[in-house]
Structure 1
């Protein structure tokens, strides 16, 4: 009991000295998270590299679970970079009836469309399709089962983080065909401007206010939305709150990457010079 008391007293004394001297507590981050923050790779990818012995911190081979300071020097074996360069990112024009992620309720995931016969002939990429490109290929963001348009599937954790990371503010652009009550033609004339302003800023979903959005009429029956967040069925739920019904939704842009002329149900590779 006495030894325990001494240990406690010593700890208190050490904490007191830190407060008196104003010495900050050391701040560290798990290595895989730090590598993701630096844009080197995804956390999962970092774990794989660490397990293979491909990562050194301040000159020493890093063990799994290592905590590192912000100024730690992190070096990666060229083998890891080579592996990363072989990863592909695929742009798919998703049709209605396919889910973005895992199969559900009898519906197939969009990734099943990534096969040789659906590769767009207009793809300018020189990359050739190979079955190993499907390994770890995952959607970077969702697109509803009843929506069409640009869906990104990638093996590259850096791109996934860029598009759907917690700090991502990537723009996503949609064309949305709507009706208003019994009005299906020239909806623009019937829809109150005050409600359009609410779509731009003033709505909440899941008890959280939405970020400002760009919302304008593309034509009398179609709105153009530009969002910087991606809540589940966000546009449809936004429209419901102002009395609009969505009858068609198509995503046409993510960041600087456009859907363009890519046919529905077909896919192409993200070109090396393209950047989101």
Structure 2
């Protein structure tokens, strides 16, 4: 009886390439077993049909960065179960080929409070992680906050500059009324988890907080729970 062999060995024979090149084809999502994409070179095959995409390219799989519209009430840990192939936006303009490996070992950057919604960055790419961590003070985040209550005298000016928490004076930011019950915050050097406390300090209650932009990346038309890839042309 013929013994099963590693998929990489079968692909190497089919494509007349080295074992390492076969592994790159497989890891790049270019190989199907009985019509189903398999990304694991160690996958065992016996008499199944194995096909290599005629457009296959010998490129190492790049680490992925996902832009996700976090629904309100969802924790960062719960994101792992909500971010998968079926929740990718149909309007994703990135052109990135979806791979199963893109959903593992994702770090959550610039996290939002659990009750907040809006744009969140999930990445496997150390370059993106370093950029957002090291340049946190220079990257502006835009939030829309639904508020209730009566604004204290000079409250808007205080939100822009003048509040202190725990003996620390908050840096200047830009806060303005979007309409009668929504404020627009453009923050630098302040994490979104401070916004509720800032509102409370001037007599307002933050009913809902939504982040709609990080740096030059807008949330755009991403619906709650949907995600798209960070394209090579995108810059924070």
TM-score (norm 2): 0.70
Query: Counterpart in 2 of 1:184?
Result: none
In structure 2, the residue corresponding to 1:96 is in which secondary structure?
A: coil
Query: Counterpart in 1 of 2:226?
Result: 266
Query: Counterpart in 2 of 1:146?
Result: 115
Runs of 4+ in structure 1 off by over 6 angstroms are none
Residues paired across the two proteins, number: 178
Query: Counterpart in 2 of 1:73?
Result: none
Change (3 A) 1:167 1:265: closer
User: Aligned equivalents of 1:133 and 1:158: distance in 2?
Assistant: 16
Give the alignment of 1:227-266 within 5 angstroms: 227-231=187-191, 233-266=193-226
In structure 1, the residue corresponding to 2:154 is in which secondary structure?
A: helix
**Aligned residues of 1:256 and 1:275 also touching (Cα < 8 A):** yes
In structure 2, the residue corresponding to 1:251 is in which secondary structure?
A: strand
**Aligned residues of 1:239 and 1:246 also touching (Cα < 8 A):** yes
Query: Counterpart in 1 of 2:170?
Result: 210
Query: Counterpart in 2 of 1:86?
Result: 62
**Aligned residues of 1:162 and 1:168 also touching (Cα < 8 A):** no
Deviations, residues 136-185 of structure 1 (Å, cap 9, x unaligned): 2111111111111100111112212222227642100000010115xxxx
**Aligned residues of 1:95 and 1:148 also touching (Cα < 8 A):** yes
User: Aligned equivalents of 2:230 and 2:127: distance in 1?
Assistant: 14
Change (3 A) 1:165 1:213: same
User: Aligned equivalents of 2:211 and 2:224: distance in 1?
Assistant: 12
Give the alignment of 1:117-266 within 5 angstroms: 117-165=86-134, 168-181=137-150, 191-192=151-152, 194-231=154-191, 233-266=193-226
RMSD of aligned alpha carbons: 1.8
Per the TM alignment, residue 193 of structure 1 is displaced from its structure 2 partner at its CA by 5.4
User: Aligned equivalents of 1:153 and 1:265: distance in 2?
Assistant: 13
Determine which of 93, 96, 119 is the counterpart of 2:72. 96
**Aligned residues of 1:93 and 1:263 also touching (Cα < 8 A):** yes
User: Aligned equivalents of 1:150 and 1:273: distance in 2?
Assistant: 18
TM-score (norm 1): 0.61
Which runs of 5 or more structure 2 residues have no equivalent in the other structure? 1-58
Which runs of 5 or more structure 1 residues have no equivalent in the other structure? 1-81, 182-190
Give the alignment of 1:6-155 within 5 angstroms: 86-100=62-76, 103=77, 108=78, 110-155=79-124
User: Aligned equivalents of 1:234 and 1:258: distance in 2?
Assistant: 21
Q: Which has the larger radius of gyration?
A: 1
Per the TM alignment, residue 230 of structure 1 is displaced from its structure 2 partner at its CA by 3.6
In structure 2, the residue corresponding to 1:127 is in which secondary structure?
A: coil
User: Aligned equivalents of 1:214 and 1:232: distance in 2?
Assistant: 14
Q: Is the helix fraction higher in 1 or 2?
A: 1
Change (3 A) 1:273 1:99: same
User: Aligned equivalents of 2:95 and 2:153: distance in 1?
Assistant: 48
**Aligned residues of 2:136 and 2:188 also touching (Cα < 8 A):** no
